[in-house]
Every structure is written in C-alpha cells, then in structure tokens.
Structure 1
C-alpha cells in the first residue's frame, strides 16, 4: 500500500522528476514545449506559483507552491499529461518516469534562495557544462530573471526571490542573478553530478 504524502499548503517545495533509468525523456525542443504546455494547462485549472524551474534532458526541477489544490494532484496531472503526449509522439509503451516525484519542503527565506540558485545552476553543474553562460540555457527560468522584459508564463513570480536577498546584497533582480552566478549550491537532492547529453537548443 502506498503511503499518502502530506504537504504543508503554506510552503514551497523543491520537486524533481527523473526519466525511468535516467533516460532522456525531455531531449528535444518539442519535448520541452510539451512539458511547458503541461504546466500551463494544469495551472489554468489548478493555480500554483513557481519561483524557479530548470528542464534538463532526463529530469526537471521546480520550486513550487500550490494555491488551492494539493501538490500531489498538480504533479500527477502535469506528469500524466506529459506522459500521454510522449507516448503518443514516440509510440512508447510503459512508464517514462523513474518513480514518484521527489519533493522537499523549503521552509525558510534563505533556503528558497539556495534551492532556487541550485535549480538555476543545473546546466553548468553537470560533469560537462551545457552552456558557458546560464542566460544562454533556454529551458530555465533564469533568463527570465536576467531580462525582466521577456514575457514569463503566468505561474512564475519574479518578485519574491530578489526581495529575500540579505544584506549587504541589494534586493534587486540583478543582485539575485549575480548570487546565482557566484555561489555553487548543494541541496538534499544533490547526490551526484549528472552525466547526460544536452537537450536541443
């Protein structure tokens, strides 16, 4: 019997989903678009806020807080929608995810900064960096912080993380971006350095 997981409705969670056997299930531009469509589709009916995301070729990270519905419900709907799309597009049979999603409560302002920075730094913390500059990785929310003139999906709130920057840092988006670029982070999920081919750019 699967134990039901309880989530604090007032907290953000670091959520990670991996491909089964670490397979690359988000390896093309169309895969990335379909994953984003899944989040947009679910958000339209079951609102949530995301502070940071990064889609890699065999897994993805998000820092998320549901507004009304449970985290389990939202993640189940997102992953089911993407799985159906993947199976239809590739004629795939069987599961595509390694297991149920990893979710770790992020309970303090400082932890939100650390986890969001870790998420944003994923493309350069692989064994072989996927890009030379984080702003060049298109499947992450980092470029949307770097350039606030870029349109963002409705679930992204770009105001919270900069406001959490401690002294002597300024509480600005630029200061937050520099924080991400300067400090290498480790979080509970980080048990290894990923070995993977980069997704299509």
Structure 2
C-alpha cells in the first residue's frame, strides 16, 4: 500500500482520518467510543495538539487538528497504538484494528474551518440507511448523535474540556449563542443538498487549500525532499504539477476521442467531455485558473461550472461506471506526469 505523504510543521492544521482494518468496526460498544475520546483528549494535552472537531463512526473516524509543534505522526501513533492495546487486552485478542497508516490532509488556515468541520459533522447522516429519511428525521439523527463534536459546537450538549471550538465558530456571529445557532443552521443546510468532500476539488488530496497554499507547501517543504519509494508518486505530482496538455492527452487516450475533438465544445461525446472537465478541475488548478481552464475547453465559465456539477452529481450518486472511468483516467494522468527514470 502506498505510504501517505506527510508534511509536518508547527501550527499546521490537519484533517485526519483512519478506517478499521479490512473496513471492520473500530468501535463496537459505548466503552470503545468513550475510551478513544479519553485517549484523544489525553494525548492532545501531552503533545500540545488542538482538537477542533471530530466524528467517530463505527468503522472509521475523522478529526480536525492543529499541531503546535511538528509532531502529528508521533501524536497519532501514540493515540492509535494506545487504543489498539486497550481493545486487544480487554478482548484478549491481537493484531491490527486500524487499516494501515492514518490519512492526513494539511489544511490552509484561511477559508476551511467551517467547510471541513461541516463535512466531518455530516458523517452520521451520510450513512445509506439515513440518507433516505426525510429531512426532519435526518436533522434529529444529526442532533442526537453522541460521538461527534457537533452537539458541543451547537450548544446541544456540553463538550469535553479539551475541545477547542473558537476557530470553527468565530465567523458565525458576535457572541457564543449566536455563533452556535448560525453554525447549526450552516451544518443543517447540508441536509438539503449534497455537501462535497472539500478534498475532491483539490489536485493533490493530501493538501486542502488554495493554489497559493499548495505552492507554499511545495516551496517550503517538498522541493528538496527525497522520500521512500512509496511516497514518490504523490511527491512528484507536487513537485512538478500537471499541465493541461498532459491531462488532455491522458483523457484522449482513455476515451478514444482525439485530443483536438475532445477539447472542442462541438465534441459530441458529452461523457468524455465531462470526464475531461473533472480531470482538469482536479489536476490543473495549480497551473491554470478556472477561467483559463474554461477557455482552453471552449467553454464559458458558467458552462465549465455546469459540466463540473454534472460530474459531481454522478460521483455523489455513486455511479460505478463514472467512478471506474475517473480512476482509469486519473491513473493515465499520473503515469504521464511522472518523470522518466534514467
């Protein structure tokens, strides 16, 4: 399994996630949730980590963190190892509970506190059995779910003393009561429409932020780094970027539509065009602005947005053909973008 790319520095923000081994349950009973949260708070204090929001689902968890020191890996290793030892000793078992190394996206400080926290808090209502319920019933499930920080951030229940709510709530009002109410309404908007994973719009999923932030990460931490083989693909993507022509050639090769035809607005194969739009949106944001991408495809900006929305709708609906096509094309892009070995 590819080793996730790690970027660590003092004051960094992260969206951290991990699943159960083989997608098995991580939390089987109330005591498991409580013990994990106890250890999350304990190690947050020990490693000087701020916990901004979290959500524990039966087979995975999400956490939004700030590290005061460059110590994310040590913090997470301590947390996950401690919880694994606890469960194995109690149940007289052995082996892994979590699926490999945790995933972590480094997050820009401007513009993502509310967006990411909302995405994390909506996890309980994205479960298939709950998605089909009426909005009011989903609102009830969201408000009654005990194993996330949503209730604490909205005043529905007292939160743990180690939870830092100020950063998420600061842009929602002038006093604590108003902030909690406005944030609750903001999250509940996600019950009426699909809320996209913020990382879906990023060209590199290990960094959540603007093109300027991605460039800063590349320049400050990655340009001179030499990592293990497992990290090289993502590292090379960050170091070299993706040009529009690379993505176009990969899409043409995968769809069987000539590149000159595929980039033209007169292309009759709408799915191929939508796939190309999805790819350039993911991979070319660091090299071209959205308006320039639209012009390169012979589209107005609104046309580019509509094509993007069609792709997101198919992804949100779980269309297997779309997911398979996106994966195939993405592999083609990444293969073309890697430097040749000498």
TM-score bucket (shorter structure): 0.7 to 0.9
Contact 1:51 1:63 in 2 (8 A): yes
Superposition RMSD in Å: 2.8
**Change in 2 beyond 3 A, CA 1:92/1:116:** same
Task: Structure 2: state its 5+ residue gaps.
Answer: 132-136, 206-314, 318-342
Provide, for residues 151-177 of structure 1, a one-character-per-residue CA deviation record: whole Å limited to 9, x for no partner.
Answer: 3223311121121349xxx97221111
Q: Which runs of 4+ in 1 moved over 6 A?
A: 189-193
CA distance in 1, matches of 2:21, 2:151: 28
Provide, for residues 76-120 of structure 1, a one-character-per-residue CA deviation record: whole Å limited to 9, x for no partner.
Answer: 110010000011112222111111011011214322211100100
Aligned to 1:199: none
Aligned residue-pair number: 190
Question: Which of these residues, 169, 173, 181, is aligned with residue 162 of structure 1?
Answer: 169
CA distance in 2, matches of 1:182, 1:4: 33
Provide, for residues 101-160 of structure 1, a one-character-per-residue CA deviation record: whole Å limited to 9, x for no partner.
Answer: 110112143222111001000000111129732110000000111217x43223311121
SS at match of 1:9: coil
Q: Does 1:24 align with 2:34?
A: no
Question: Which of these residues, 152, 158, 162, is aligned with residue 144 of structure 1?
Answer: 152
CA distance in 1, matches of 2:186, 2:158: 22
Aligned to 2:195: 185
Give the structure with the higher percent helix. 2
Contact 1:54 1:122 in 2 (8 A): yes
CA distance in 1, matches of 2:65, 2:95: 28
TM-aligned CA deviation for residue 69 of structure 1: 5.0
SS at match of 2:99: coil
Aligned to 1:106: 107
Contact 1:48 1:155 in 2 (8 A): no
Structure with higher Rg: it is 2
Contact 1:38 1:82 in 2 (8 A): yes
Task: Structure 1: state its 5+ residue gaps.
Answer: 194-201
Aligned to 2:126: 125
CA distance in 1, matches of 2:170, 2:178: 5
CA distance in 2, matches of 1:3, 1:18: 14
Aligned to 2:181: 174
CA distance in 1, matches of 2:66, 2:27: 23
Comparing 53-62 and 127-136, the one that deviates more: 127-136
